[in-house]
Structure 1
Amino acid sequence: MSIIPERPEPLLRLDEVAAALEELRTHVATEEPLPAVLQRLAETAVKGTTDADAVSVTVLAADGPETQATTDPEMADIDRVQYSAESGPALHAATTRQPVRSVVDDDEKRWPEFVRAARSAGIRAYLSMPLLLEAEEELVGALNVYSRTASAFDPFDETLMRLFTNTASAAISNARRWHHARDRVRHLEVALTSRAEIDQAKGVLMAVHGIGPDDAFARLVEQSQQQNRKLREVARELLESVRNR
């Protein structure tokens, strides 16, 4: 009976990441909001990375960096320490667009606040990868992988996670497109509703005052400017006053 040789350890790790990527592609819907995509990204990454105990996702928001997804709330605390100190591997990876892989004890001088927080949580090693949207070359933030094993990550893990983040960028792009499309639809719905209300208000003024559509619209605009209110609000108030009579 032939014996099937065991797959080399690097290939096993490659299998884990390939399986994680397939899960990400299978479960991330194009109509899934960005926070849900980032959370799924974190959960998939922790499954697909050997010795990973937790994963968080740092996003460079308009009002500063924030952790928008994590598999362990304690890691969000470590991230917040970095944000407050304005230094740490997550921010370094995000701002330099380069991976950061190290043992926590080696960075006490470089990032003392981060090291104290990591030690307190039992974290011994980390790997932070920049998250980029490839087509737009837009920087999203960083994917942060934490481990309680000092020897957790090596250059091969870094290469695998680079492939992972490249694939994940497509899911993030889809989520953003869905979000923007949803906002456009909402704005269009508001605009159509406003137009209908303004037309109805014009009709009321035309019937009450015996004036034409242009004069009715001018009266609405004049009232809007005098009250410093949006035209649709003035129109809606007029319609409500008529209904309540």
Structure 2
Amino acid sequence: MTVEPRDAHGDAHGDEPRSYGLPGQGRDRGAGHDSEAGPQPLREQVRAAEVIAAGVRGAEPGEIPGKLCVAAVELLPVTGASVSLRSDGMPVQLSASDDRAARMSDIQATLGDGPCTSAGATGTTVYATDLASERDAGRWPVFAQQATAAGIRAVYSMPLGNDTVCVGTLDLYRDVPGELTRREVRLAELVAGVMTVALTALPRDEEDGPEGGALWLSGLAPAHDEVYQAIGVIMVQLGVDSDEALARLRAHSFARNRTALEVAHDVVRHHERFDRD
């Protein structure tokens, strides 16, 4: 169950799923209860635009997603942010505002479960407002346990893309439980919209299709390239297909309290081997 945010007065948004288009493309229809005609929303939008512009000024294209994660933390009541790209098998973490946010992203990729993977799969925003609650812990039990152990109590995952293609997710982390207000959701959507533009503007192989794919991702997140190399090695070692190899990598990593990235690094360098049962 997706938990919809509430405004400062406690009125829930409508039950319609959120699309993941750019701001203004059919999103947050319930926000009409808030008056946006006054000067305060305009000032907030101007400040947000200034923070984003200052953050990305002079940055190379590949650096912009990380700069936007930092801007999200400055603009919103969150302690960290990460951006992951969708790919076959595993989300690919592209950037994060800090080490803890990066770790949360890696944990979700390793488990194949969490708000990030749910948002990417459904194309709708996912709000985990209290990972210690029965509601959220019941949905992602292992991720919730690991996140709360690391001091993260809430996660807000927003798909990036348009009405037909989800290219990734913007994931916001907070160390206290709670919902975002409508104003905060609008700011988060603004960052997500700019992030979408930044991702779709990144250089890609001319042979790659508009939806992206392995060729587009290759080189953008070098550490994650090792995961796919490791999957190939495991396929040969165990004589299994790619899905089974990824499942074995995830299970092996979880059993040793490591991330899939860490184990993949060792597999590629022949420091770790998968043997047939």
* TM-score in terms of structure 2 length: 0.52
The 1:18–1:173 alpha-carbon spacing in structure 2 relative to 1, beyond 3 Å, is farther
> Hey, what does 1:92 align to over in structure 2?
118
| 1:105 Cα deviation from its structure 2 partner | 1.8
Q: Aligned partners of 1:11, 1:128: CA distance in 2, in Å?
A: 29
Q: Aligned partners of 2:113, 2:89: CA distance in 1, in Å?
A: 16
The 1:119–1:174 alpha-carbon spacing in structure 2 relative to 1, beyond 3 Å, is same
Q: Aligned partners of 1:31, 1:148: CA distance in 2, in Å?
A: 29
Q: Aligned partners of 1:150, 1:11: CA distance in 2, in Å?
A: 30
Find out whether 1:64 has 2:93 as its counterpart: no
Q: Aligned partners of 2:39, 2:99: CA distance in 1, in Å?
A: 31
- Which SS does the other structure have where 2:48 is aligned? helix
**Would you say the 8 A contact 1:81–1:113 is kept in 2?**
no
> Which of these residues, 49, 68, 71, is aligned with residue 44 of structure 1?
71
The amino acid that maps onto 2:121 is T
> Which of these residues, 100, 112, 130, is aligned with residue 141 of structure 2?
112
Q: How many residues align?
A: 168
> Hey, what does 1:6 align to over in structure 2?
none
- Which SS does the other structure have where 1:144 is aligned? strand
> Which of these residues, 40, 43, 48, is aligned with residue 20 of structure 1?
48
- Which SS does the other structure have where 2:92 is aligned? strand
Runs of at least 4 residues of structure 1 off by over 6 A?
10-14
> Which of these residues, 98, 106, 109, is aligned with residue 80 of structure 1?
106
Larger Rg: 1
> Hey, what does 2:252 align to over in structure 1?
none
| 1:70 Cα deviation from its structure 2 partner | 0.8
The amino acid that maps onto 2:122 is T
Greater alpha carbon shift after TM alignment, 18-27 vs 100-109: 18-27
- Which SS does the other structure have where 1:115 is aligned? helix
Greater alpha carbon shift after TM alignment, 22-31 vs 39-48: 22-31
* TM-score in terms of structure 1 length: 0.58
The 1:93–1:30 alpha-carbon spacing in structure 2 relative to 1, beyond 3 Å, is farther
The amino acid that maps onto 2:192 is T
User: Share of identical aligned residues, percent?
Assistant: 26
Higher helix share: 1
| 1:171 Cα deviation from its structure 2 partner | 2.5
- Which SS does the other structure have where 1:47 is aligned? helix
- Which SS does the other structure have where 1:64 is aligned? coil
- Which SS does the other structure have where 2:86 is aligned? strand
**Would you say the 8 A contact 1:66–1:83 is kept in 2?**
yes
* CA distances 1:6-65 after superposition (whole Å, capped 9, x unpaired): xxxx9868745542333334554698333x11101101111111x211111111245621
**Would you say the 8 A contact 1:127–1:146 is kept in 2?**
yes
> Hey, what does 2:171 align to over in structure 1?
144
**Would you say the 8 A contact 1:129–1:142 is kept in 2?**
yes
| 1:67 Cα deviation from its structure 2 partner | 1.6
**Would you say the 8 A contact 2:80–2:100 is kept in 1?**
no
Higher strand share: 1
* CA distances 1:143-195 after superposition (whole Å, capped 9, x unpaired): 1111112125234422331232123322333333xx558xxxxxxxxxxxxxx
The amino acid that maps onto 2:91 is P
Higher relative contact order (CA 8 A, sep 6+): 2
> Hey, what does 1:242 align to over in structure 2?
none
| RMSD of Structure 2 on Structure 1 (CA) | 3.1
The 1:79–1:13 alpha-carbon spacing in structure 2 relative to 1, beyond 3 Å, is farther
- Which SS does the other structure have where 2:171 is aligned? strand
